[in-house]
């Protein structure tokens, strides 16, 4: 099974990228039939959306086609978002203007929010509330909020606070749940009913 992780930090070498790499490693080491692609919006931000995207200009085709292919081939998605000023970072909001129902519609997605402190709840509600209307990505009920992120998931022999073991187990649970949703939802997308052009956008 193919997964895509969207790493929504605006920073290169971010804590969100650390978490994304950990998740990729967990998936690929527990299931050798699975592969994970990370789209790191910190290192490779997508330019701000403009009408040229809808007009399918060469400029936008060159940017979007490789990303579209990765998303289209994926059965499950993981959105990793830091909390910036109680919000989802701008690069991630911009990202959600691009994918259509054909790329992410009716695919399960796990939200992973990241905070250096005790925050991290706002990106979860923001993503659930306002990122899925037209692309019809399906957030699973479980989500993860990785708090005090600097002190966990740092690798063997590195700094680890008391919650480290809890997060390891909780991340595994959420990844197993996501895989179960992905298997159950794959057949859904074989039916064109859900992809009728007249109703491709949500209300
Ligand atoms: C512009 C900016 C705003 C931030 N605002 C918040 C916030 O509202 N809540 C919070 O818990 N952490 C906040 N942080 C700290 C992040 O939790 C911290 O940078 C953490 O490492 C996750 O972000 P990263 O993935 O970009 O590294 C903010 C960081 C930046 C750069």
Structural domain of residue 138, as residue ranges? 2-199
Atom of ligand 1 nearest to the CA of 7: 25
- Closest residue (by CA) to atom 25 of ligand 1? 16
Q: What is the CA radius of gyration of the chain?
A: 17
pLDDT (tens digit per residue) in 27-38: 999 999 999 999
What's the confidence (pLDDT) of residue 158?
85
87 CB within 6 A, ligand 1 = no
Residue 81 CA to residue 113 CA, distance in Å, equals 5
**How far is it, in rounded angstroms, from Cα 77 to Cα 198?**
25
Mean pLDDT of 73-101: 98
pLDDT digits (tens, 9 = 90+) for 152-188: 999 888 888 889 899 999 999 999 999 999 999 999 9
Check pocket membership of 20 for ligand 1, CB cut-off 6 A. no
Our answer on whether the CB atom of 90 is closer than 6 Å to any ligand 1 atom is no
Model pLDDT, residue 175:
98
The CATH number of the domain holding residue 9 is 3.40.50.360
**Predicted TM-score (pTM) of this structure:** 0.97
Give the model's pLDDT for residue 69: 98
Does 125 score more than 90 pLDDT? yes
Which value, to the nearest 10 degrees, does the dihedral of the CA atoms of residues 49, 53, 59, 61 take? Answer: 120
Total structural domains within the chain: 1
Question: 93 CB under 6 A from ligand 1?
Answer: no
Neighbours of 194 (CB within 10 A): 14
User: CA 138, CA 108: separation in Å to the nearest integer?
Assistant: 5
């Amino acid at each position: 099974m193919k997964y895509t992780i969207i790493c929504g930090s605006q920073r290169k070498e971010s804590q969100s990228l650390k978490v994304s790499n950990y998740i990729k490693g967990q998936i690929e080491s527990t299931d050798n039939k699975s592969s994970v692609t990370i789209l790191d919006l910190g290192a490779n931000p997508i330019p701000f959306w403009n009408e040229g995207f809808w007009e399918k200009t060469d400029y936008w085709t060159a940017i979007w086609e490789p990303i579209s292919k990765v998303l289209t081939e994926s059965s499950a998605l993981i959105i990793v978002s830091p909390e910036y000023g109680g919000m989802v970072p701008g690069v991630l909001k911009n990202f959600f203007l691009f994918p259509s129902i054909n790329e992410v519609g009716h695919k399960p997605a796990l939200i992973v929010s990241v905070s250096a402190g005790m925050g991290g709840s706002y990106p979860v509600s923001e993503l659930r509330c306002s990122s899925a209307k037209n692309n019809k990505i399906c957030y699973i009920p479980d989500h993860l909020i990785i708090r005090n992120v600097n002190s966990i998931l740092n690798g063997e022999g590195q700094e680890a606070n008391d919650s480290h073991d809890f997060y390891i187990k909780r991340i595994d649970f959420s990844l197993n749940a996501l895989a179960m949703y992905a298997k159950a939802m794959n057949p859904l997308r074989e039916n064109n009913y859900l992809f009728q052009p007249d109703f491709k956008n949500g209300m």
